[in-house]
């Protein structure tokens, strides 16, 4: 019945958000003006532009990966890991880390071990 889910996160500037996801994470993108979709394989994140800072809310999403160590090394080399986002083993059997995008949204990456 359900096929796929895609989070919708807030963006301050759609063009800057697309550039971040393309240049830093290798996503492709479709720009609809005040709305964008970034995609990498089956992973999609949607963004809606919120230009009123009082209405802007930071969000988060979780992306499952099959090679967490290599991805962590790649994003660490690009200086995208923030201090609280270090690679750790979680009690529920996942290894995960997180980054902040250019809008302050938290993007978590995880792999079941």
CATH number at residue 22: 3.10.180.10
**Does some domain include residue 17?**
yes
**Does some domain include residue 15?**
yes
pLDDT at 82: 86
Decide if 70 contacts 97 (C-beta within 8 A). no
What is the per-residue pLDDT across 21-75, written as a single tens digit (0 to 9) for each? 999 999 999 999 999 999 999 999 999 999 887 888 999 999 999 999 999 999 9
**Does some domain include residue 95?**
yes
As for how many domains the chain has, the answer is 1
The answer on pLDDT for 3 being more than 90 is no
pTM value is: 0.93
Decide if 62 contacts 108 (C-beta within 8 A). yes
**Does some domain include residue 2?**
no
**Does some domain include residue 1?**
no
pLDDT band at 83 (very low <50, low <70, confident <90, very high): confident
Among 65, 12, 20, which residue's Cα sits nearest to residue 38? 20
Mean pLDDT, rounded, for 2-16: 94
């Amino acid at each position: 019945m359900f096929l796929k889910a895609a989070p919708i996160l807030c963006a301050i500037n759609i063009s800057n958000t697309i550039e971040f996801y393309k240049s830093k994470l290798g996503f492709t993108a479709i720009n609809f003006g005040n709305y964008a979709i970034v995609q990498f394989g089956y992973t999609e994140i949607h963004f809606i532009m919120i230009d009123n800072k009082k209405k802007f809310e930071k969000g988060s999403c979780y992306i499952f990966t099959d090679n967490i160590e290599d991805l962590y090394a790649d994003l660490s080399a690009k200086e995208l890991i923030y201090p609280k986002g270090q690679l750790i083993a979680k009690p529920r059997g996942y290894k995960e880390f997180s980054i902040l995008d250019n809008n302050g949204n938290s993007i978590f990456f995880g792999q079941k071990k």
